[in-house]
């Protein structure tokens, strides 16, 4: 049986009384994309920081390509690349200078540094801006340079922590295509995201994370199939009417209506037939929707059904990044139990990013493994 590229068993992390991770388990096959999907505060970034040796777990076991992240942190760092939520590139250096600097910091063979920087600038469509200061780059260009920096030592495993947060749709699609190319070349990618479309488009398997626990781990297609192929949405115009409509429909159909504000949602394998039946029942009770829609089910529907709330709003152009570990390549000598060590990459956020909701507890004593 092929050894998993990443193996996580019973992984836990506490910050004083706050449980950031609660016995998390998953495996990532080599040469695949695995998505950790969940809202801010779910524990996604904490998982990434443990797997990249920035944080020590409070319990459990994790390996990257057979190397224990606690007992063999230096060996793990030689195998991984990390692009976190904050830019780690130096704004005053050019793109080319940044990549060469990373090559030196990761102890790349000296004759290889210049050619490797050139290769990555070409691959990430940055050759034309290679000799400009990074402060003149657009957000999408900085993000591409970020990922390129994580790839300088050509790591077999790449961690991407919310890689497209704040990017416009064109930049987001371009980065998605670059990630697909990396996987076609054999790289294993673990990415965290709040965006359902990103997980659906990129990941071969998705683990839905909420409040430090993995709720479900499956392929996007299988997750969506749990709900049915189509979703019927009804806008009742007023919340009171939506409550009344939900009450009327409950028990009349095998599908259970889910209410969110003025909207009702019902998943089915035959959405058109369900819609006709639902409209007939509502009309008989004097309830007429303001609008109706039938569409394919999405991971957003899955997450809502599993947790009772959504992950996040749709990505906003130019949105500020959420808190998280700074992008770095594998060789950063961090091996601390909380926060960045002396070898933290530029731009790294102190402490843990699992999660803004949990950061208030960082000053509390930390449990040790």
Tell me the C-alpha distance between 310 and 303, whole Å. 6
% of the chain with per-residue pLDDT over 70: 77
Strands 213-218 and 205-210: antiparallel
Q: How confident is the model at residue 115 (pLDDT cuts 50, 70, 90)?
A: very high
Measured in whole angstroms, how far is the alpha carbon of residue 82 from the centre of its chain? 13
Torsion angle of C-alpha atoms 296, 300, 303, 308, degrees rounded to 10 = -100
Q: Which helix (H) or strand (E) holds 233?
A: strand 230-235
| Burial grade of 2 (CB within 10 A; 0-12, 13-18, 19 or more) | exposed
Question: What is the mean pLDDT of the segment spanning 330-344?
Answer: 36
Structure tokens at 260: 């969110």
Tell me the C-alpha distance between 28 and 65, whole Å. 10
Q: In a 3-state reduction of DSSP, which class is residue 40?
A: coil
Tell me the C-alpha distance between 69 and 91, whole Å. 31
pLDDT at residue number 298 = 64
pLDDT at residue number 162 = 86
For residue 254, the tally of other CB atoms under 10 A from its CB is 8
pLDDT above 90 for 302? no
Tell me the C-alpha distance between 195 and 213, whole Å. 18
Tell me the C-alpha distance between 301 and 220, whole Å. 12
What average pLDDT is seen over the chain? 80
pLDDT at residue number 2 = 78
Q: How confident is the model at residue 200 (pLDDT cuts 50, 70, 90)?
A: confident
Q: In a 3-state reduction of DSSP, which class is residue 262?
A: coil
- The string of DSSP letters for 307-321 reads HSS-S-PPPPTTPPP
pLDDT at residue number 1 = 63
If you count DSSP H runs as helices and E runs as strands, how many of each does the chain have, helices first? 11, 15
Read off the DSSP letter of residue 230.
E
Tell me the C-alpha distance between 150 and 236, whole Å. 49
Q: In a 3-state reduction of DSSP, which class is residue 101?
A: helix
Tell me the C-alpha distance between 176 and 91, whole Å. 24
pLDDT above 70 for 15? yes
pLDDT at residue number 344 = 35
Q: Per the confidence metrics, is the pTM higher than 0.85? A: no
Query: Which value, in Å, is the radius of gyration of the alpha carbons in the chain?
Result: 23
Q: Comparing C-alpha atoms, which of 111, 108, 110, 172 is closest to residue 144? A: 172
pLDDT above 80 for 158? yes
Cα 61 to Cα 13, 57, 239, 338, distances in angstroms: 11, 8, 47, 17
Tell me the per-residue pLDDT of 143-153, one tens digit each, with 9 for 90 and over: 899 989 999 99
| Burial grade of 1 (CB within 10 A; 0-12, 13-18, 19 or more) | exposed
pLDDT above 60 for 318? no
Tell me the per-residue pLDDT of 22-31, one tens digit each, with 9 for 90 and over: 999 999 999 9
Tell me the C-alpha distance between 181 and 187, whole Å. 9
pLDDT at residue number 346 = 33
Q: How confident is the model at residue 341 (pLDDT cuts 50, 70, 90)?
A: very low
- The string of DSSP letters for 191-219 reads EEES-HHHHHHH-SEEEEEETTEEEEEE-
Tell me the per-residue pLDDT of 22-74, one tens digit each, with 9 for 90 and over: 999 999 999 999 999 887 788 998 999 999 999 999 999 999 999 999 999 99
Q: Comparing C-alpha atoms, which of 70, 24, 72, 78 is closest to residue 50? A: 70
């Amino acid at each position: 049986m092929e050894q998993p590229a990443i193996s996580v068993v019973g992984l836990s992390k506490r910050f004083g009384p706050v449980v950031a991770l609660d016995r998390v388990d998953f495996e990532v096959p080599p040469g695949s994309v695995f998505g950790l999907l969940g809202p801010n505060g779910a524990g996604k970034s904490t998982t990434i920081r443990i797997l990249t040796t920035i944080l020590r777990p409070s319990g459990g076991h994790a390996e990257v390509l057979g190397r224990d992240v606690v007992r063999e942190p230096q060996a793990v760092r030689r195998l991984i690349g990390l692009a976190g939520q904050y830019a780690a590139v130096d704004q005053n250096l050019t793109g080319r200078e940044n990549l060469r600097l990373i090559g030196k910091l990761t102890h790349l063979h000296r004759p290889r540094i210049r050619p490797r920087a050139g290769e990555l600038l070409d691959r990430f469509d940055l050759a034309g801006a290679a000799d400009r200061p990074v402060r003149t780059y657009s957000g999408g260009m900085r993000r591409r340079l970020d990922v390129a920096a994580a790839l300088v030592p050509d790591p077999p495993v790449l961690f991407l922590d919310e890689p497209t947060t704040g990017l416009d749709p064109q930049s987001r699609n371009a980065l998605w295509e670059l990630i697909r190319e990396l996987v076609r070349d054999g790289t294993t990618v673990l990415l965290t995201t709040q965006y359902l479309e990103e997980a659906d488009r990129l990941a071969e398997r998705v683990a839905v994370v909420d409040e430090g626990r993995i709720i479900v781990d499956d392929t996007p297609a299988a997750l969506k199939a749990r709900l049915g192929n189509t979703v019927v949405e009804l806008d009742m115009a007023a919340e009171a009417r939506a409550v009344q409509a939900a009450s009327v429909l409950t028990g009349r159909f095998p599908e259970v209506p889910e209410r969110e504000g003025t909207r009702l949602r019902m998943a089915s394998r035959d959405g058109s037939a369900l819609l006709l039946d639902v409209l007939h029942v509502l009309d008989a009770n004097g309830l007429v929707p303001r609008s109706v829609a039938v569409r394919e089910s999405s991971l957003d529907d899955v997450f809502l059904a599993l947790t009772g709330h959504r992950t996040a709003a749709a990505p906003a152009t130019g949105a500020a990044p959420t808190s998280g570990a700074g992008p770095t390549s594998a060789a950063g000598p961090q091996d601390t139990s909380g926060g960045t060590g002396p070898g933290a990459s530029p731009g790294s956020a102190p402490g843990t990013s699992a999660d803004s909701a949990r950061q208030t507890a960082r000053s509390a004593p930390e449990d040790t493994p």
